[in-house]
Structure 1
């Protein structure tokens, strides 16, 4: 008998819904179900106006707020034309929107139990068109109705929306699970709704909430399906909640939910993630006792785990057992084994396994090729890696960023960047798109080896291959030219950056200034320093030392003194190394008056002499005395 046939629904004079339950029971025994489940519908919206007013009876039927529910239900039954447009006009023009509270929404939904289309249409209309904010009970009622009528996709969509609202704190009046339980005494429902609730939590990455919902289900005697349990186990496993995984499995056994092969595979994966491989054999025996044979997923999980731990003998033994038990290894099996051999440095065995796989009709993918190429590169077997690259291209596979990266790094380890450059240009010539990062890495490697002309030639060669160097690459190239004492080439690159609206950083300016000063071109370095400060980029102590030492080497005392005062006054750089460099220059001349005048001037700026300053001054005095004696 339909549950609603057992409910006597009446409306009191004040418009409140009253439900009298006679011999009310559901298909499941909810031990903690409230005896007064009707109370959930009496929670009116605080902002809604009270309906109980004797004067309302004198109003026309369409304007009487006590008839709001009846008007809506009548309109829902009439699906001709745009009944919602007519209903919207009636409700809005007669000011009935303020009387459409969450309680009225629930009453309408209860009257539409047998027509899920009308229930869902009304719910969306009230939420989207009228702007009425449904509460947890409204959501749960329409979800029950949709689930009962097997409209699972729409029910799942609303469940996901509801749990998402509760997670964000938008709707937190009632716990979703408890609300679904309470409302099951008022409308038709299907226990599958609780399975769907767990899946909705998992879909929204609310794994802990899904686990709590499962515990509540078990407490109330609701048995979830094995598919739901597998979804929950997978979610817990991804978060490394291995203890809870085993708690779920124990509860499954207790409540009589029979695991399937997928369950055992998930738990095998949990054991392997916990690095508890010693327990795997016992678990596999239990799995076979339950009537399940390990399948390809089980074996792949174990083989992968053994390979990650370097237990290649166990992995190979399991690989051989697969053939004995008529389980054919797949691409994942071979990739795990080849990766394991490569990591152990046994790349030749890995290649033999690769050949065996191809002979057995399996086509390798780019991941497998990359795994083997990486193994060869780590062992310095670049010729074999190159042959494998050609083999991969011959099979119609494009080398990706990882392929190029491991090959370039392999050549770099052998101090053979020329071959890496040739490889990249060869790939470019054959029409393969080389990643920008590979070009950047290769140019940076050439610069680090102080081969800026080779790096520049590579840029010129690949600039048409959708590659344009950025600030960092230009900076590395300029610094490399400066380290090799090629200031003109560095200045040309600087001009190229400016033409492309690329900004130089402090490191680039510093490198050029130091190189110019080292080359006896300190006045040009001065201009560059002024350009830098005009760009609101203050010089650092290295720039200060480079310029002052450069002018001192060029015996340009006046410019060195001017710069020392400038750096101190404008940028608060009081560097005694620079100060002593000028003192040493003056002392070498033996001009005591000039030395004293400079010291006095710098003391006023803020410089203080140290022990090295005193030594240079004494040297200057001694030189002045010697000169004086010679002149006498």
Structure 2
């Protein structure tokens, strides 16, 4: 164990240190900042002492020997010694420059260098400089530890993410400068381009590519392909062609992946003629289109509604020995269905199965969608049953398309029956499809069919939300049936802690008033108010008309007064409903007294009110 000083008696006095500092002041610039110590005098003046003073210390306590001590400990794999040095405070002024020197001396042992790099970063809690990041990346890459080098590169790129673009390119500059100081592998520049791409920094990746090429380095074809993919996703087609031309200039050899990326770029631009010319150029350079190329071309033709060209390309594939796959057939089937030729698409579907390809749910859905759009629901239904027989489970999109198809044919009951049939086959149907079907049935004034479906699917775990309940209540109240079913649903909602909305309350209140159950409707309105909803004009009119129809004058007047006081509702139609009732049933005196009472509350008579008063007076006089 290295012996450490135990007594401060070996240290020179403060006055000696200050005096000696003046002697060596002219040479102080030649030393590392880590070898400076701060001494505070009584007047708080800071005096910096240069490293020759540390010669008074023992070798193990001299910070000038710190790099040697660290390298010795790392060479001996002595982690305890490093911890001891840290405990004695020798790392207190440890700088990135000293870290740089240690890493350089450890470059023959990349694992040790990386362990020390991480120790400084994590245990000492000191942020390495960009230069030290670059040095460790070079060391790891030279030692073929590419995975670890890439991890450190990604960390460095992330650190530089928030700085401006010109500053972030210092990573490239420092990587380049470090090549004069350590062993290195050009692959680090490929890593830099890829690291930017992995972090979504496509612009920085492109700039790094240009700088790498400008200095004469040749990135790998794989790296360039990754850059092309990143640029193409940003819809910068012109940059892709700039990269391709640069590839040709520097002698990087494009492969089939390169050509497929560029073909995809052309297809996105939508110029099919350019695509054909590029394919000719591709073939001239010795590359034959593969399955990916053909699939992109067929997809492009289908999107442009050039179905004849798409079918022609499909036939060319077979002639050239490139076997169409599931993607090829599904793409072409989708194009034919969108073109209104579902039967031809189905023929191709059977041809695909005959070739030994097993259609997936997307293939089935594509054809089912085509049949539904053409109103061929029987064919769509048969295809769903075939789908189940083949072990492919319909998904939520399948069910949703079938419901929409039947709805367009005004056959929602058939859609409901099909859903129930699918449940018998234990097909999992999404809540979204159930919601859509129940809403559609309610909109078509089929509330009992919707309620029957709800009861059936609730047995399989479906939980209706508040919107479903409210829509169903509103639909039940609009039908000529009894309001009891709507009231039962409301009770069920409350039991499940689901709150009816204003529309549901309004629908039930209006229906009750229409059935001469105005007092029950008024009680429901009070419940609604307690739930946090305020009555609107429609509810007020329904209640007033209901009471007047039942000749409940006192209840009607009391309600009209409370509505005006509690909710500031002053509706002339409600007021005139009572005036009309009095003009027919009561005397002139009662009518005039009512008018006075209402004026005190805040109601003002209008022309119609005056008409009712005149009619009442005429009847009283027998005119």
TM over 0.5: yes
User: Which of these residues, 615, 620, 628, is aligned with residue 621 of structure 2?
Assistant: 628
| 8 Å contact kept, 2:71–2:105 | yes
SS at match of 2:92: helix
Deviation sequence 1:600-624 (CA, Å, 0-9, x none):
4444444444xxx213312321331
Give how far 1:275 is off.
0.8
Q: Which runs of 5 or more residues in structure 1 are unaligned? A: 1-10, 18-48
Aligned equivalent of 2:10: none
Give how far 1:555 is off.
2.7
CA 546–145 in structure 1, closer or farther in 2 if over 3 Å, else same: farther
CA 507–615 in structure 1, closer or farther in 2 if over 3 Å, else same: closer
Aligned equivalent of 2:159: 165
CA distance in 2 between counterparts of 1:570 and 1:62 reads 89
For 1:535-554, list aligned pairs within 5 A.
535-554=531-550
| 8 Å contact kept, 1:156–1:196 | yes
| 8 Å contact kept, 2:474–2:504 | yes
Deviation sequence 1:254-296 (CA, Å, 0-9, x none):
2222221111111111111111112111111111121111111
SS at match of 1:98: coil
CA 478–131 in structure 1, closer or farther in 2 if over 3 Å, else same: same
| 8 Å contact kept, 2:131–2:174 | yes
Q: Which runs of 5 or more residues in structure 2 are unaligned? A: 1-27, 35-46
User: Which of these residues, 462, 467, 472, is aligned with residue 467 of structure 1?
Assistant: 462
User: Which of these residues, 447, 450, 456, is aligned with residue 451 of structure 2?
Assistant: 456
User: Which of these residues, 110, 116, 140, is aligned with residue 134 of structure 2?
Assistant: 140
Give how far 1:56 is off.
2.9
Give how far 1:551 is off.
2.4
Aligned equivalent of 2:395: 400
User: Which of these residues, 490, 504, 510, is aligned with residue 506 of structure 2?
Assistant: 510
User: Which of these residues, 193, 202, 211, is aligned with residue 197 of structure 2?
Assistant: 202
| 8 Å contact kept, 1:587–1:616 | no
User: Which of these residues, 277, 291, 295, is aligned with residue 296 of structure 1?
Assistant: 291
Aligned equivalent of 1:326: 321
CA 164–518 in structure 1, closer or farther in 2 if over 3 Å, else same: farther
Give how far 1:346 is off.
0.5
CA 156–608 in structure 1, closer or farther in 2 if over 3 Å, else same: farther
Q: Number of matched residues?
A: 582
User: Which of these residues, 491, 496, 506, is aligned with residue 492 of structure 2?
Assistant: 496
SS at match of 1:262: helix
CA distance in 2 between counterparts of 1:173 and 1:395 reads 56
CA distance in 2 between counterparts of 1:113 and 1:472 reads 68
Give how far 1:483 is off.
1.2
| 8 Å contact kept, 2:142–2:184 | yes
| 8 Å contact kept, 1:14–1:51 | no
SS at match of 2:423: helix
User: Which of these residues, 75, 78, 97, is aligned with residue 76 of structure 2?
Assistant: 78
The reply on whether 1:14 has 2:31 as its aligned counterpart is yes
Deviation sequence 1:362-410 (CA, Å, 0-9, x none):
2212111111111111112122112211222222111111111111221
Aligned equivalent of 1:380: 375
CA distance in 1 between counterparts of 2:574 and 2:611 reads 18
CA distance in 1 between counterparts of 2:544 and 2:67 reads 90
| 8 Å contact kept, 1:590–1:621 | no
Aligned equivalent of 2:121: 127
| 8 Å contact kept, 1:589–1:620 | no
Deviates more, 1:247-256 or 1:539-548: 539-548
User: Which of these residues, 52, 56, 68, is aligned with residue 58 of structure 1?
Assistant: 56
CA 576–70 in structure 1, closer or farther in 2 if over 3 Å, else same: farther
| 8 Å contact kept, 1:315–1:337 | yes
CA distance in 2 between counterparts of 1:136 and 1:51 reads 29
CA distance in 2 between counterparts of 1:51 and 1:440 reads 80
Aligned equivalent of 2:473: 478
| 8 Å contact kept, 1:481–1:490 | yes
CA 577–623 in structure 1, closer or farther in 2 if over 3 Å, else same: closer
CA distance in 2 between counterparts of 1:349 and 1:211 reads 46
| 8 Å contact kept, 2:169–2:208 | no
Deviates more, 1:303-312 or 1:402-411: 402-411
Give how far 1:304 is off.
0.6
Aligned equivalent of 2:13: none
SS at match of 2:356: coil
CA distance in 2 between counterparts of 1:273 and 1:403 reads 29
Aligned equivalent of 1:28: none
| 8 Å contact kept, 2:587–2:620 | no
Structure 2 length as normaliser, TM-score?
A: 0.88
Structure 1 length as normaliser, TM-score?
A: 0.87
SS at match of 2:286: coil
Give how far 1:222 is off.
2.2
CA 623–532 in structure 1, closer or farther in 2 if over 3 Å, else same: closer
CA distance in 2 between counterparts of 1:159 and 1:606 reads 78
CA 190–597 in structure 1, closer or farther in 2 if over 3 Å, else same: farther
CA 598–361 in structure 1, closer or farther in 2 if over 3 Å, else same: same
SS at match of 1:328: coil
CA distance in 2 between counterparts of 1:499 and 1:51 reads 82
Give how far 1:558 is off.
3.1
